[in-house]
Amino acid sequence: MKIVLGIESSCDETAVALVREDGVILSQALATQQAEHAPFGGVVPEIAARAHLANIDRLYTQAMSEAKLELSQVDAVAVTTGPGLIGGVIVGVMLGKALAAASGKPFISINHLEGHALTVRLTHQVQFPYFLLLISGGHCQQLVVRGVGDYVRLGGTKDDALGEAFDKCAKMLGLPYPGGPALERAARDGNSKAYDFPRPLKGTDGCDFSFSGLKTAVRLLIEKEVARAGKLTPEIIADVAASFEAAVLDVLNDRVSRALAIAQRDYPITALAVAGGVAANLAIGSSLRTLAGAHSLPLVVAPPALCTDNGVMIAWAGMERLLLGAVDDLSVAPRARWPLAELTPVSA
């Protein structure tokens, strides 16, 4: 069976993995940068690039050792070439090109978003076409996945990605980095009806999202409560977090339901798939499961470790492309921006 090496370095995780054609994950090595970025409350691109450079050779060696493989036994090298923080992307691309050139193995350029989009085909063998809600710190899109390289965009965010909104609201509440999981934990102890935050774009035409207004409403509420109480008490923090999360759930339910109806009208949709780091949020998962049931679809979410950025998803996307004969030459350039719509459908 074919084996693909995957390399990911587009944001703040450095990852290398080896995946076999039958979906078996032979190894995965990953280094997070939470400690490096925590003092700044967010990812600092220059620090991220340096950390990738410091970690990537060690992770490659670790992944190959765990899989008990030599580079000569690998059938292709798949690398995230965008979109992402360009300094980090360059680190991964340079290693991937060097390995491909030294071994004579095919080089496969992977769009980071396609890595997320195809993960459920590895974990759940989902058949095309399926509906995908991609929600992460940098991306928020609703898509129909018709095939490898074949995506129909139904909607996206007009401003902040959902994960970014979670992180920024968490930071305003004084919660630790990374903010999204911290806000989710705080919300469990709060009253979701304590504050009536806006539901941007709910009930409007189209399938787009907007979260900047919700974020602003949270900031103004925090300022008001600090002025009233003198500080943010644990009760206020929990109530704000719960009320924010409730608003997000209402928006997601409205926007995704609208997009799903359009997708099912035009395509024989097989599943509602969710990808990206925010997919690990339990409240969001529960709400989307109910929504999927209302549309007579299964909800498919990859395991939490494969929702966030990882090398496995890049290796698997590379496998899908390799099996279809879609490989690239070493002239491929790293890209900071690379919409899925710019990909070309691949067929056998």
pLDDT of 177 reads: 85
pLDDT of 347 reads: 86
Section 305-327 average pLDDT: 96
Section 102-127 average pLDDT: 97
Please give the Cα distance from 146 to 151 (Å, whole number): 6
How far is the CA of 238 from the CAs of 106, 174, 220, 233, 303, in angstroms? 51, 12, 16, 9, 27
Q: What is the dihedral of CA 240, 288, 157, 264, to 10 degrees?
A: -160
More confident residue, 179 or 63: 63
Identity of residue 198: P
Residue range 14-38, pLDDT digits in tens? 999 999 999 999 999 999 998 899 8
Torsions phi, psi for 297 (to 5 deg)? -125, 150
* The pLDDT of residue 348 is above 90: no
First to last CA, the chain: 18
User: What mean pLDDT is reported for the chain?
Assistant: 95
pLDDT of 106 reads: 98
Question: Hey, is 268 helix, strand or coil?
Answer: coil
* The pLDDT of residue 138 is above 90: no
Q: Please check whether residue 47 is in contact with residue 329, taking contact to mean a CB–CB distance below 8 angstroms.
A: no
Output the pTM of the full model. Answer: 0.94
Domains of the chain in sequence order? 3-118+306-342 (3.30.420.40), 129-301 (3.30.420.40)
What is the distance, to the nearest Å, from the Cα of residue 23 to the centroid of all Cα atoms in its chain? 20
Question: Hey, is 174 helix, strand or coil?
Answer: coil
Burial-class residue 220 by CB neighbours within 10 Å (0-12, 13-18, 19+).
Answer: exposed
The pLDDT-based confidence of 270 (bands split at 50, 70, 90) is very high
How far is the CA of 150 from the CAs of 126, 146, 271, 343, 344, in angstroms? 15, 5, 16, 7, 6
